[in-house]
Structure 1
Amino acid sequence: MEPLATAGDLADRLGRPLTAPEGARVPSLLADASALVRLFTGRDFSRTDNETVVLRAQQGEIRLPQRPVLNVTQVVAVGAGGAPDIPVVGWQWDGIDIVRTSVSGCAINLPELWADEEFEAYPGTYRVTYSHGDAQAPEAVVAVVARMALRTLTSPTMAGGVTGETIGPYSYRTDGAGVGTAVAMTDDDRKMLELAGYRRKAGMAMVRWR
């Protein structure tokens, strides 16, 4: 996936062009920071068309994991124990992130064997095809990714956990986790993402279908 911020975003915040050594490090730092943000939020923040995922319904509702949802094109009930996968009829998308369905919606024209054992054959797992994502990363996400990368990029030392150096008779040292060659997410970063509404929802299980 593409990074959620650019070298230009870093240069804008620094107020100067990146140096050649800085420019060489930026792609990896932005990739690492973007991966951490995606892991924390459970969101891609990238436009994806017609992705198919396998999700479990809760009380007839399927919560789509990626937002904003642009459209939903297909819902298929996944059969168990030899039962066939069948398209669901009558499903409804709420326009946000919920698809409402029911087992009865996929029971039409089932072979009698599976119709008689409907609940066992169709335990509530669905394959959903939908499009989602932003045309560009939200400003709050760009801000967090940029400052995560800049903390490492502008650290005066490459030693992880230490921000300090000695030049002749002058020296200083401040311990700080995450500074050095590795990008890290701070509590302030997490708080900003949470305030922006990008906290990962608990209890979501998803399998990507390629």
Structure 2
Amino acid sequence: MPLATAEDVAARIGRPVLADEQPRINAFLRDVTGLIEDYCGRDMARRTNQLITLYAEGGCVLTVPARYQTFLTVAGVLEDGQEVTGWTFNGRELIREAGWGESAVTLTASWGYEVVPDSITALACSEVIRWLALTPGVGRERVGEVEVEFSAPSSAQTLSPATRTSLTPYRRSRLGSLTLRREGPSLSVRGWPA
């Protein structure tokens, strides 16, 4: 499901979307949704009662990939096709005291935003409008002193630097944090021993 609609794009360009523009705009909306979700490392649009297959490697904890963790709810769990009971879900992991064995575990789950945040809808629309304004094969145009820069046709369909910056709060960090402590005497603000 796209992060915005053709009607959202029409509202931002100030005119109705023409019938011949509709397929292109819908395709761009699907494209920008995929690019935003891939860049952020998570699914944004709501998926309801979908199947997620994970492969357990033994132990009591089965981690759900970060891509699915946005408002994730788990309705049911199957292991090797059999319903599993006695599990708990803490938002990131399925925990089962009896262990998971080494087999396929299938979750019936829902995840993603119930209502896509307005800022993400705005970013999706701005990218689609930017893509619509580009002539295929032209990477950049300038009116003063007429300048045209040509590029590969598909290179224009990427997220702009401004959009990437705006998506920072929604992006999953790939690394954890690390607290560093220096051994030795504590120092005051001036660097003298405390």
- TM-score when scaled to structure 1? 0.63
Unmatched tracts of structure 2, length 5 or more? 176-194
Letter in 2 for 1:17: R
2:89 maps to what in 1?
A: 93
2:160 maps to what in 1?
A: 186
Distance in 2, matches of 1:24 and 1:164, equals 28
2:115 maps to what in 1?
A: 136
1:198 maps to what in 2?
A: 171
SS in structure 1 at match of 2:28 = helix
Pick closer, same or farther for the CA change 1:158–1:51 going to 2, 3 Å.
closer
Letter in 2 for 1:73: A
1:123 maps to what in 2?
A: 102
1:159 maps onto 2:137 in alignment: yes
1:26 maps to what in 2?
A: 25
2:75 maps to what in 1?
A: 73
Letter in 2 for 1:199: R
Deviations 1:114-155 (A, max 9, x none): xxxxxxxx2264221212233332223212211111112223
Per the TM alignment, residue 10 of structure 1 is displaced from its structure 2 partner at its CA by 2.3
Letter in 1 for 2:86: G
Indicate conservation of the 8 Å contact 1:30/1:145, yes or no: yes
Identity of aligned residues (%): 23
SS in structure 1 at match of 2:105 = strand
Distance in 1, matches of 2:172 and 2:49, equals 24
Distance in 1, matches of 2:39 and 2:171, equals 9
Which structure is higher in RCO with an 8 Å CA cutoff and minimum separation 6? Answer: 1
Unmatched tracts of structure 1, length 5 or more? 79-84, 107-121, 203-210
1:62 maps onto 2:40 in alignment: no
Per the TM alignment, residue 37 of structure 1 is displaced from its structure 2 partner at its CA by 1.6
Pick closer, same or farther for the CA change 1:148–1:176 going to 2, 3 Å.
farther
Indicate conservation of the 8 Å contact 1:161/1:180, yes or no: no
Per the TM alignment, residue 92 of structure 1 is displaced from its structure 2 partner at its CA by 0.6
Q: Which stretch of the first structure deviates more once superposed, 31-40 or 175-184?
A: 175-184
Pick closer, same or farther for the CA change 1:160–1:35 going to 2, 3 Å.
farther
Pick closer, same or farther for the CA change 1:43–1:126 going to 2, 3 Å.
same
